[in-house]
Amino acid sequence: MGGVGRVVIAYLRGIFPRTATPKEIAAACKVSHEAVKKVLTRNPEYVTQVRRGEYRAFLDGALMRGLHTPECEVHNLVVVAPLSLSARGALPAAGRGLQAEERVSWWRGRRVTISIEAGERKQVPKVVVYLAASEKPLKVPEFVEYVEHLGGILAAAGAVHDGPDVKVRRLEVNADYPLPKVALAGAEVMTLSGFKGGLLKAYNKRKLGVLRLEACLWPVDARPEEIIRVFAELTRPKLAETKDGETK
């Protein structure tokens, strides 16, 4: 492969997985249109025609590794806990069945909304803590720190702050791929519903410059500590196997 061929292939690999026309490639590489057409037609092991007049680099292991492997993050979390006996007496009777109280605090630049669900008659009122972190998702270590901080939030709101009564009501996790390396084509949002207790979404979150794959799960019916354990399992490096089939 000559010098022009190497320049053209390097350009296509640099913009992968986007496509380009011969005219666009010629302008970007500052070579003739005819030279580009020869490279595109004579190097099928490096170039593939996606559709008429549009080409991209042939996918290989190096390009796949370069697409970026995203981390699993948490961007929304709703936790509920019953109001303690001492705090229930201060709840106004008129508030039953309504959001009787709501206040907002912040945790490392993320909005945290604390409200009280008074519930119907004979139901135990609950404290609801909603973490909104869509613009600044929490990676696993930060999520662990937030869960440790969560006990203080619940205690300050008059709720039971530890034990099996503290439950995750809603969990939204995401994996972000950088744009324009990966993007949703032909639409900005795609939603897959029909799942019991959740849905899956993919959308171009252009404010952050990413394609976001999102899973919304509810009701989770798990303790925050259990979610931490799941994330730890998902992010733990795979153990190497010995010849005897044992891990090390």
How large is the average pLDDT for residues 230-234? 74
Walk me through the domains of the chain, giving residue ranges and CATH numbers: 3-66 (1.10.10.10), 73-235 (no CATH)
pLDDT given for residue 183 in this prediction:
67
pTM exceeds 0.85: no
Q: Please list the alpha-helical segments (H only) found in the chain.
A: 3-15, 22-29, 33-42, 61-66, 85-88, 140-156, 224-235
The 10s digit of each residue's pLDDT in 23-34 is 999 999 999 999
The 10s digit of each residue's pLDDT in 215-226 is 888 877 788 988
The 10s digit of each residue's pLDDT in 97-119 is 445 568 999 999 999 999 988 76
The 10s digit of each residue's pLDDT in 18-60 is 889 999 999 999 999 999 999 999 998 899 888 888 998 887 7
pLDDT given for residue 72 in this prediction:
85
Whether the CB-CB separation of 200 and 192 falls below 8 Å is answered with yes
Rounded to whole angstroms, how far apart are CA atoms 20 and 40? 11
Query: 29-37 long-range CB contacts below 8 Å, 24 or more apart?
Result: 29/4, 31/4, 31/7, 35/4, 36/4, 36/8
